[in-house]
Amino acid sequence: MPSSAPSRVRPTGAISTLDSAINQVSSARANIGAIQNRLESVGRSLAVASENTAAANSRIADADVAQSMSELVRSQILQQAGISVLAQANQAPSLVLQLLR
């Protein structure tokens, strides 16, 4: 019997060690899960921010186009008015000559 004594395993010590290891693994998995959830949340927030930025850039570009078109139309109107004034000014001397005849 003395020869079998060293080969005996203490089951309570092994179970305790295994329980401790399982608890450590579970704790690590919980921490990793929490970190993963935070990263996913940050990823979703960044995606929304990116979409909002793209939409804002689009609105700014649209506003610039509208403003440019307004300025173009204004310039064209002023040009046409200037041409009209010049045409009338060019006709004035001939009208004066007609009145004098």
Q: Tokens representing 20? A: 């401790």
Average pLDDT of the chain, as a whole number: 87
- Residues 66, 68, 71, 77, CA torsion sign: negative
Compute the distance between CA of residue 29 and CA of residue 37 in angstroms, rounded to an integer.
12
Taking only the tens place, the pLDDT of each residue in 50-67 is 999 999 999 888 888 888
Q: Confirm whether pTM is higher than 0.85.
A: no
Compute the distance between CA of residue 14 and CA of residue 12 in angstroms, rounded to an integer.
6
Confidence of residue 71 (pLDDT cuts 50, 70, 90): very high
Q: Is 8 left (phi over 0), alpha (psi -120 to 50) or beta?
A: beta
pLDDT at position 7 is 57
All structural domains of the chain with their residue ranges: 11-100
Taking only the tens place, the pLDDT of each residue in 21-50 is 999 999 999 999 999 999 999 999 999 999
Compute the distance between CA of residue 18 and CA of residue 21 in angstroms, rounded to an integer.
5
